[in-house]
A and B are shown apart, each in its own frame.
Chain A
Amino acid sequence: MSVEELKAKSQVSGEYHRFLEFTLGSEDYAIPLLSVREVISIPETTPIPKAPTHFLGIMNLRGQVISVVDLRTKLKIKSKEDNAEESVIIVDVNGMNLGIVVDSINKVLAFSDDEVSEVPEIETQANAEYIQGVYRKEDSLTVLLDVAKVLDLNDRKLLSGTKAAA
Chain B
Amino acid sequence: MEDFERELKEDFLEESLQLLEDTEQSFLALENDKESGELLDQIFRLAHNLKGTSRAVGFGEVAEFTHEMENLILKLKTGELEVTDSIVTILLECNDHITHMISTLKDDLDASFDSKEIITKVIAAVNGEAASEEIVAQDAQEDPLVEEDIVEAIPDASAFEGFEDESEPVAQAISDSGESNEVEISASALESLRELGLSDEGQLKELELKVAPAKEEAEGLTIKKGDEIVAQEMAPVTPIKPEPAKAAPKKPAASSNAPKKKNEDESIRVALSRVEKLNNVVGELVILQTVLDQRRFVNIQDELSNKSIGHLGKLSKEIQEISMSLRMVPLKSTLQKMNRIVRDTSKTLNKKVNLNLVGEDTEIDKTVLENLSDPLVHIVRNAVDHGLESTEDRIRVGKDEFGNVEIAAFHEGNNLVIEISDDGGGIPADIIRNKAIEKGLIRADQKISDDDIIQYIFHPGFSTKEQVTEVSGRGVGMDVVRTNIEGMSGDIKVTTEMGKGSVFKVSLPLTMAIIDGMIIRIGEEKYIIPLSQVHESLKPTEKMINSISGFGECLNLRGDVLPLFNVGTTLKRKTDEGNSTDKIAVIVHSSDFKFAVLVDDILHQQQVVIKTLGEEIKNTKGFMGSSILGDGRPAFILDLNELFKGSLKKNKNSFSNSIARAA
Binding site for B on A (CB under 8 A): 44, 46-51, 55, 58-60, 62-67, 96-98, 151-152, 155-156, 159-160, 162-163, 166
Contact = CB atoms under 8 A, between A and B. Distances in A.
A98 B614 contact: yes
A151 B617 CA distance: 12
B634 A160 contact: no
Interface in B601-627: 611-617, 619-622, 626-627
A44 B572 CA distance: 21
Q: Tell me whether chain A's interface is mostly helix, strand or loop, or mixed.
A: mixed
Contact of B622 (A46, A155, A166): A166
B619 A159 contact: yes
Nearest to B622: A166
B525 to A, nearest CB: 7
Give the interface centre of B611, B612, B615, B627 by most chain A CB atoms within 10 Å: B615
B529 to A, nearest CB: 14
A156 B646 CA distance: 21
Interface string B622-663: 100011100011111000000100100000000000000000
Contacts of A151: 616
Give the interface centre of A47, A65, A96, A152 by most chain B CB atoms within 10 Å: A65
B636 A46 contact: yes
Nearest to B609: A63
Interface residues of B, number: 31
B633 A156 contact: no
Nearest 7 A/B pairs, CB to CB: A49-B571, A63-B284, A166-B621, A65-B611, A65-B626, A96-B615, A58-B634
A55 B615 contact: no
B617 A163 contact: no
A48 B620 contact: yes
B280 interface: yes
B525 A63 contact: no
Given A151-B616, A166-B621, A49 B626 contact: no
A159 B634 contact: no
A51 B634 contact: no
B283 A98 contact: no
Interface in B514-550: 525-526
A63 B280 CA distance: 7
A66 B614 contact: yes
Contacts of A159: 616-617, 619-620
Given A63-B283, A67-B614, A98-B614, A46 B633 contact: yes
Interface string B116-146: 0000000000000000000000000000000
11 contacts: A46-B626, A46-B633, A48-B620, A49-B636, A50-B620, A58-B626, A58-B636, A65-B634, A156-B616, A159-B620, A163-B619
Contacts of B620: 48, 50-51, 159, 162-163, 166
A122 to B, nearest CB: 29
A62 B285 CA distance: 10
